[in-house]
Amino acid sequence: MSKKRPVIGVLALQGDVREHAAMLERAGATAVPVRRPRELAEVDGLVLPGGESTTMSRLLETFELLEPLRGRLADGMPAFGSCAGMILLARQALDGREDQHQLDALDMVVRRNAFGRQVDSFEGDLDFTGVEGGSLHAVFIRAPWVEKTGDGVEVLARIPHTRDAGAAADRIVAVRQGTVLATAFHPELTGDERVHRLFVGIVQEK
Ligand code: GLN
């Protein structure tokens, strides 16, 4: 028996909204943009795309989405954040702005722009727990990494320990806590929808 096609919102304040929506559709969901509390109330899950977490934090307030989003996350709505979306979902962000809001849906501390200026964009292959069919090609753009995780947070991927990885070796770049998923990289940009499939599965099982 096939499972129901869930309706998944993409927070449409900034970032790769169209790319995420296309991947969600390929992964078996109906994707809708979310800009208003009314739209947020109707989705089965939400993707928070990359962009600039400081700007997105401010826009969440302007669009009166901050408290409704906190409420839905507290009620257990599944969410998937990539890059800036990961930063927003974390309990705490280092090297952020003091007035930047945290959604506190993932018990972890992230560091913004953690990979440094010289290597602010790069690509690489990762082993990703829960994603079958071999390693995953990952695109990092001024990405955060996860500095510290609480007990309930499952680590899904780390930067491989290669000779040129330097301080980035073994850093955590994908996590899951219950129905909340986050990646420091941009799975919407590679044409490989396996991470989106994982998230659609999480929403369907909820
Ligand atoms: N550096 C950005 C931030 O701090 C994230 C970059 C991205 O989402 N591609 O929010």
Domains in the chain: boundaries: 7-205
51 lines ligand 1 (CB under 6 A): yes
105, 73 contact by CB (below 8 A): yes
Whether 82 has a binding-site annotation, put simply, is no
Residue 196 among the catalytic residues: no
Tokens of 92: 């705490």
Residue 83 among the catalytic residues: yes
Amino acid 3: pLDDT: 73
36-63: pLDDT as tens digits: 999 999 999 999 999 999 999 999 999 9
Task: Report which of residues 71 and 165 the model is more confident about.
Answer: 71
19, 20, 83, 193: the active-site residue: 83
9-28: pLDDT as tens digits: 999 999 999 999 999 999 99
* Residue located nearest, by CA, to atom 8 of ligand 1: 50
pLDDT at 32 over 60: yes
Average pLDDT of the residues in 171-187: 98
d(CA 206, CA 189): 26
Q: Which atom of ligand 1 is nearest to the CA of 96?
A: 4
* Residue located nearest, by CA, to atom 5 of ligand 1: 84
Burial of 38 by CB count in 10 Å (0-12 exposed, 13-18 middle, 19+ buried)? exposed
Q: Which atom of ligand 1 is nearest to the CA of 113?
A: 1
Whether 142 has a binding-site annotation, put simply, is yes
| DSSP label at residue 4 | P
Residues in the chain: 206
Q: What is the pTM of this model?
A: 0.96
50, 25 contact by CB (below 8 A): no
59, 35 contact by CB (below 8 A): no
111 lines ligand 1 (CB under 6 A): no
Residue 186 among the catalytic residues: yes
Which residues 6+ apart lie within 8 Å of 132 measured at CB?
Answer: 194
pLDDT at 1 over 50: no
Tokens of 10: 């993409």
Pairing of the two strands 90-94 and 106-111: parallel
53 lines ligand 1 (CB under 6 A): yes
19, 20, 101, 188: the active-site residue: 188
pLDDT at 156 over 90: yes
- 3-state secondary structure at position 7: strand
Which fold does the domain 7-205 belong to in CATH?
A: Rossmann fold (3.40.50)
pLDDT at 2 over 80: no
Amino acid 121: pLDDT: 87
